[in-house]
Amino acid sequence: MAKSKSGLKTTFQILAAEVVKGAFLFGSAGTLRWWQGWVYLLSGVFFGVAATVTLSRESPELLEERKTAAKKAKPWDKIIVLLLIIILPTCLYVFAGLDRRWHWTRSITVLESLGALLVLLASNTLFLWAQKTNAFFSSFARIQDDRGHQVVSSGPYRVVRHPGYIGLMLGSLALPILLGSLPALGVGVLICILNVVRTELEDRMLRSELKNYQEYAAKVRYKLVPFIW
């Protein structure tokens, strides 16, 4: 019963977050007649609920871990998460909405937006796959000694060491194109850069503090992009 209540609470939090996103998107756009905005919000609800259901069934302790993860996180990651989860996405939504209102960007076609939607769905799927595979997929960078933190090397972790960040980065580039906004794409690029910084910092932490990670890093050489980095 406790597990189901936790999952239900998380689902309500996801829905509330989508409402807030919608307020920024459509409020700045000044209209509800924006199919790209609705598609984005619906995809967010779908993948958010899918992630909650998956974790509730397969890793309910991870849902519980996220309630206190911020208190135990690395100080540098608290700042990065604030930028990645709240400040920069809010800027992206507002810029995209104002672009929709004032028609700053006219070069992105409907076909390009639909292509970006496919990339966004693929990025969310990759992120969900990484979550499902990794029982220690926390929302903050920390060594989970209280949960017996171990190296995960299956699923997408066979190819790169931080597949979840790839999903986030692809999504941050695809979303502005879906929404038809080049100014928002600039924010998406900033999100990508910050995710690269976070990947490097987290990888250093894991190398120095997580048992057997050095051996895993020697076997899986690339952090984000195969054959590149």
Quote the tokens at residue 103: 């028609």
Helix, strand, or coil here: 84? helix
Q: Report pLDDT for 19.
A: 93
DSSP state letter for 87:
I
- Find tokens 């799927």 and name the residue: 125
When pLDDT is cut at 50, 70 and 90, the band that residue 58 belongs to is: confident
Q: Identify which of 53-57, 70-74, 208-212 has the greatest average pLDDT.
A: 208-212
**How far apart are alpha carbons 128 and 156 in whole angstroms?**
11
Amino acid at 149: H
Give me the percent of the chain exceeding a pLDDT of 90: 75
- Residue 160 is encoded by which pair of tokens? 């790169």
pTM of the model: 0.92
Q: Which residue has the higher pLDDT, 25 or 5?
A: 25
Residue 30 phi/psi, 5-degree rounding, is 75, 20
Least-confidence region, from 27-31, 65-69, 165-169, 174-178: 65-69
Report how far Cα 38 is from the mean position of its chain's Cα atoms.
19
Mean pLDDT for all residues in the chain: 91
The CATH number fitting domain 2-219, selected from 3.40.50.720, 1.20.120.1630, 1.10.3720.10, 1.25.40.10: 1.20.120.1630
Buried b (16+ CB within 10 A) or exposed e, 184-196: bbebbebbbebbb
What is the tens place of the pLDDT at every residue in 77-98? Answer: 999 999 999 999 999 999 999 9
The stretches of the chain forming alpha helices (DSSP H) are 2-29, 35-58, 60-72, 75-81, 88-102, 110-133, 163-178, 182-209, 213-219
Token pair recorded at residue 114: 């639909």
Query: What pLDDT was estimated at residue 13?
Result: 81
CA distance 35 to 134: 34
Contact 201, 141 (CB under 8 A): yes
